Amino acid sequence: MKELLLGIDIGTSACKVAVFDAGGHVLAQANRPYSVYYPHPGWAEQDADEWWAAVCEGIREVLAAPNVCASDISAIGIDGQSWSAIPVDRAGNALARTPIWMDTRSREICERYKKQLGEETVFQIAGNDFLPSYSAPKMIWFRENRPDIYRQARYFMQSNSYIAMKLTGKASQDLSQLYGLQFFNLHKMELDESLASELGIDPDLIPDRYACDAVVGTVTEAASARTGLLSGTPVVAGGLDAACGTLGAGVYLPGQTQEQGGQAGGMSICMDRAIAHKALILSPHVVPGMYLLQGGTVGGGGALKWFRQELGNGMSFDELTAEAAKIPAGSEGVVFLPYMAGERSPIWNPDAKGVFYGLGYDKTRAHMIRAVLEGVAFALEHNLRVAAEAGAEVSDMNAMGGASNSALWTQIKADVTGKVIHVPGSDTATTLGAAILAGVGSGIYGSYREAVERTVSVRKTYTPDPEKHAVYQKNMELYLALYRNLESIFSDFS
């Protein structure tokens, strides 16, 4: 019998499923898209049952691969997008679509509670600001605007825990996703019942807590029939997608940093203590005892995807970046603000808009493409500068996500930030991280060190060019000045 691990990733645009051997090699993988719904301005929702249907289809596809057998799957790990609030009844049925991380419908609720409780009070307990992206404000929104749903809800669940429940029948809440609940004390790693009471949230609406590598349960007969998995296969709690991706990129020790190049962008700095900054995101790592100081941006691969769809005239991503490579560093003065759905850290402005600056008759599509690549890198640099204010210095980074496959884009990020960037061999860092959790939880790996050493290797390293870094530092100041000067316009005309 082989020792294979199944990783499931509930992303924003699609579900990814991958089977790994114990050495971290991908034996089979599948990708199933699903929809994001925008029923009202500021709303962004997904259907948890569409996630489950995609998971079932993806698992059946990978199990059909010639080198994979359901009996060889030793354990299953699941990661998921952050800050869901899925209302689930006692029978385990989702009662409504969940607002996702892009949803800003609870803006007024957040402002009201920050005034009522004191912004600093919440921050000192939660280590994060009270913002509409997080889960707790969404729960309050359901209570105030959909009381029928709120009354029926037995639990409010996260994306990965919902899939774990569909597989095992057991409700769970992993430790890495708890930071989305502002009544969770990050320093003590426990729920603050007093703050929950002031927010009007019953702590019993949160399922039992589990370490990310803890076995929640095993695949049920019903789930076996839907997926083709063997009943009795262990399922671990899993965790936050960014944290699993960080682990899958080989970042598990203090000081190591992951650079995220997926649909969204950002970075995660691994720390052995909870160092918070109001403009950033602090969460537990999926690795026990570790924390992540994160910068999460809206602008990532999604910005280039938008450009390709709307202005790319059918070009592939490789053709787009090849065109951008013809333009010198700095895009000859063209600067792009990648705030395509507002912006998260470090400005936390849902009214922010995507902007091209510096266009003229002498500028071409290639200038705009390169400016998009550079704008995403400027958003990363913005977060790194704020992290440095908190005392979290970064020397080099491990890149993950589809953008890390682009030599030009990764080099631009190295040149903008002045940091060395390593690209590990796996293109599936997030599902690999979920699989590593399953491997540790099932005993295939004796430690996280062993797991990372066996599964993660650096494929390529990018070193910053000092001359280009100097050019980009000048453009970075223009990037920051553009936002400062447009901030009030964004708000006044939103």
pLDDT tens, 191-203? 999 999 999 999 9
**Token pair 């210095």 in the structure block, residue:** 393
Which pLDDT belongs to residue 58?
Answer: 98
DSSP labels for 212-270? TTSEEEE--HHHHHHH-PPTT-EEE--EEHHHHHHHHTT--STT-EEEEESSSEEEEEE
Higher pLDDT, 307 or 393: 307
Say how far apart CA 382 and CA 377 lie, in whole Å.
9
Confidence label for 138 from pLDDT (cuts 50, 70 and 90): very high
The amino acid sitting at 357 is Y
DSSP labels for 160-201? HHHHHHHHHS---EEGGGGGGSTTEETTTTEE-HHHHHHHT-
Query: Can you tell me the mean pLDDT for 180-196?
Result: 94
Which pLDDT belongs to residue 264?
Answer: 85
pLDDT in tens, 266-302: 999 999 999 999 999 999 999 999 999 999 999 899 9
pLDDT for residue 217 is more than 70: yes
pTM metric for this prediction: 0.91
Q: Which CATH number fits domain 250-494: 3.40.50.300, 3.30.420.40, 3.20.140.10, 3.90.650.10?
A: 3.30.420.40
Which pLDDT belongs to residue 395?
Answer: 86
pLDDT in tens, 342-373: 999 999 998 999 999 999 999 999 999 999 99
Equal fold, 4-237 vs 250-494: yes
Confidence label for 1 from pLDDT (cuts 50, 70 and 90): low
Q: Residue 150: helix, strand or coil by DSSP?
A: helix
Per-domain residue ranges of the chain: 4-237, 250-494
Say how far apart CA 402 and CA 431 lie, in whole Å.
13
pLDDT in tens, 397-413: 999 988 999 999 999 99
- Cβ atoms of residues 476 and 383 within 8 Å: no
Which pLDDT belongs to residue 494?
Answer: 76
Which pLDDT belongs to residue 426?
Answer: 65
pLDDT for residue 396 is more than 90: yes
Which pLDDT belongs to residue 299?
Answer: 87
Q: Residue 23: helix, strand or coil by DSSP?
A: coil
Burial 437-448 (b: 16+ CB within 10 A, else e): bbbbbbebbeeb
Which pLDDT belongs to residue 285?
Answer: 98
Architecture of the domain delimited by 4-237: 2-Layer Sandwich (3.30)
Cis peptide before 288 (omega within 30 of 0): no
